[in-house]
Amino acid sequence: MDFPATAATSETLPNGLTLILDPSPVAPVVSAQVWVETGSIHEGPLLGSGLSHFLEHMVFKGGGRFGPSELAETVQAGGGHWNAYTTFDRTVYYIDGPALGLRSFLEVLAAMVFHPHLPESEFEKEKDVIRREIDMGLDDPDDRGHRLLFDTAFIRDARRQPVIGHRELFDQITYDDLRRYHATRYTPNRACLCLSGDFDPAEVRETILSLFGDLPRGMEHEPTLPSEPHLLSPRVGRATFAVPASRLTLAWQTPPAGHPDQPALDLAAAILGRGRSARLYRALREERPLALEISAWCWTPVGSPGLFAVSAEVLPEHRDELLAALRQLIAAFPSTALDHDLEKARRQIASTQIKTLTTVSGRATDLASNWHEARDLDHTRHYLQQLDRVTAADIRRALGNLLTTPEILTFLDPIDAPESTATARMAVEAPSPESFSLPNGTQVSLLADARIPLISLQAVIRAGAPAESSATAGINRLLAAALPHGTLRHDAAELALTLESLGASFGASAGNNSIIAQLSGLSGDLETLLPLFGEILCSPALPSDAIERERASQLATLQETQEDPLSLAFRNLRPLLFGESGYGLASLGTETSLAHLDRLALAAHHSLHFRGPNLTLALAGDFDLSRARELITAAFAGLEGGDPWLPAASKLPESGERLQHLAKKQAVLTLGYRGCAALDEDRHALRFLQEWCSDMAGPLFMRIREDLGLAYQVGATQFHGFDTGLFAFYLATDPSQLELARTELLKEISQLATQGIPEEAFERVRATVLSATALDQQSPASIARHAAIDTLFGLPATHHRELTGIYQALTPDEVRSAASRLLALPPCVSIVMPE
């Protein structure tokens, strides 16, 4: 299926700023993005210091006519959701929100990006914040593995330096360095402003000219980037870390983007390691259970060598055997039959790219990325056309040539492990949703929308934490992971191959109240996908060998979360609030409970919960209503009926406190309160309170992080359960500042309990919540998920469409009253501290 040609326009203003406009009236939302072509590789004499990332932080301290709090307040008042990120070669600032806020969003972006205050009084304070962030990265195995790979693969390339910088080099950055770097690199001729969404192009262009048109062009000189020499011999890198399993990466250097072999190598990576039917996954995880997880990927940047790699997680005792088998399979790959897998890989990549068009943010990112990489707004479409022209012979030649070059091998091993031996823009009005029930009690919602040729099926099964006990903790998660491993009619390989050949994806997860399964694909494949979805849910094979592999993977994840301070703090918080049952249980289970979960246990759990009265199903996207009803009736008619499973009442203990020590650098504090049930009237007010406590303009961020510099990470989170819920506050800080941070956090919570959200900030919070609601109702997957979950709790399938009216009617007094009820009792406290 062809990637739609864009109707967006591009022009270069006299000062060099590129302007990309993608008007689309589908939904009243917009995405405004400024891409500055400067990143960590452009830091010149300060390469490796993280100066680009530091500057990204500092521009949020005010700009133009806005002070630091006024920037956040203006975005919030417009309902915007904003953030930024820095990579090797770009820094991106973006605001997503309602179309009515576009002018204020543009004014904020112009002020902060091109006219930042960069207050010297905030310089050292923000440095301390980033020092904590550097420490958190050093505590993260994924970050350490990434650093190890790039440090091994490159010897001169600037990308071997971490974007955030080395601590000792970061400490040397001066205030003058910061201002000089901004003046030199943040110039309009190095930037792109991309807008996608509901706006009038002529009107918005005038606004942009008034805000950005007078920016002075910068000098065209670029820093000299060191070139990476050809790899002359194999390279091996090894490090140890507190992880339960080894992380292994086998890689080769690739030519840069634009090389004729790039499309063939991308397809080779997809064939080898993309999805459950991929060759490496089938051979080294399913048929020969050596890897816990395995995938292949190809990264080809512009102008510099890239990497073709296979990454795997493996128990140390299987590491060398896996490496030998991996080398053997890859070496034999060019001589195997590829035609069928080639079509599957093309479909997978095309499906992924098409899905980016479902949101304004996705469309803007695609367009700006195309400009950044190729100066061609249709680069994605053109590249997919290149993929269509690749033959099996091209893949054999390209990969065969690559495998003649030296390999790069890295291991991130457990500490005690031995070393290895070795855009349709036309608005389409969707028909009214249709809801019905099958004879067995299954409730079905059909939400048709023909804008984009995608469909999404979402099934929600009433289960979750209250369906587990201390002996079966983790069973929902394990059952969800086992579902894709075949049905009574199709084994796992056939199932994965069928789905991935269509560019479709199936996933299942376990939450607090349910197991959720989803299947997404192209609309033309509904006749195949819907019956398969029914098979997976109604008659899963649950093979014992697959359960064993998923158990090993879940156990490794469990052990890893026990080494993550924030995850561990929340894990310890739950039993303090809810006891040793229901919501007090860890969703991943325990080592003891997982050891006793076998096929019999999973089959019994499936039989109890996967029944008509416990299941709600929603289909959203481009489909025929009548045919969808027929297919669903046939696919799910075999589910048993009977009485629904109902959770037991939660047993709520008194409040408590727990301290645990962990060999990490930062301290984490969590404060938990018993929150709302799913249908509690306070849930809407607490949505406002959570937003206020998590926003960059909110009291926690402004007081604890900005004014006092006590925490790098601070915010609030919540979930709603069958009869109770959780509302929690959290922060990550330096251990020496924990008590002061705790005191200040409790002061802010006390003020929330008595005052709620200040009236002068309330409308900004409302705008942000309304914006988030609109942004969350764009894609078929999110629409179907909302409908299925709401139906499970007895609400209409269209309840998500009513939220805007509910939030618009909410008053400060209602939020204040809900906050006082929530925070009336002392919190449960969970702390994780360094040893």
Q: Please report the pLDDT score of residue 1 as a whole number.
A: 58
Q: What is the pLDDT of residue 331?
A: 93
pLDDT at 429 over 80: no
**pLDDT (0 to 100) of residue 226:** 86
The model's confidence at residue 296, banded by pLDDT at 50, 70 and 90, is very high
Q: Is the pLDDT of residue 458 over 60?
A: yes
* 145 has a pLDDT exceeding 80: yes
Long-range own/partner contacts, residues 769-773 (CB < 8 A, 24 or more apart): 769/687, 769/688, 769/691, 769/807, 770/79, 770/98, 770/804, 770/807, 770/808, 771/29, 771/78, 771/79, 771/80, 771/81, 771/96, 771/97, 771/98, 771/101, 772/81, 772/691, 773/800, 773/803, 773/804, 773/807
Rg (CA), the chain: 27
For residue 606, which amino acid is it?
H
User: What is the token pair recorded at 768?
Assistant: 């942000």
Closest by Cα among 522, 793, 533 to 683 = 793
Could you report the per-residue pLDDT of 591-609, keeping only the tens digit for each?
Answer: 999 999 999 999 999 999 9
Q: Please report which confidence band the pLDDT of residue 138 belongs to, taking 50, 70 and 90 as the band edges.
A: confident
Angle between helices 799-809 and 759-775 (to 10 degrees): 170
Confidence category of residue 793, pLDDT binned at 50, 70, 90: very high
Give the number of other Cβ atoms within 10 Å of residue 238's Cβ.
15
pLDDT value of residue 423: 31
pLDDT band at 430 (very low <50, low <70, confident <90, very high): low
Query: What is the rounded distance in angstroms from the CA atom of residue 102 to the CA atom of residue 31?
Result: 8
Q: Which of 162, 307, 299 is nearest to 235 (CA)?
A: 307
CB 410 within 8 A of CB 248: yes
Per-residue pLDDT tens digits for 796-816: 999 999 999 999 999 999 999
pLDDT in tens, 716-744: 999 999 999 999 999 999 999 999 999 99
Compute the mean pLDDT over every residue in the chain, rounded to the nearest whole number: 94
pLDDT band for 289, please (50, 70, 90 cuts): very high
Interval 528-543 mean pLDDT: 96
The whole-number average pLDDT for the span 194-221 is 96
* CB of 1 closer than 8 Å to CB of 350: yes
Task: Flag whether pLDDT at 424 surpasses 60.
Answer: no
Domains delineated in the chain: 10-212 (3.30.830.10), 235-414 (3.30.830.10), 434-636 (3.30.830.10), 657-834 (3.30.830.10)
Query: In the prediction, which pLDDT does 111 show?
Result: 97
Tell whether the model's pLDDT for residue 566 goes beyond 80.
Answer: yes
* Sole residue written with tokens 């397809």: 267
pLDDT in tens, 21-68: 999 998 999 999 999 999 999 999 999 999 999 999 999 999 999 998
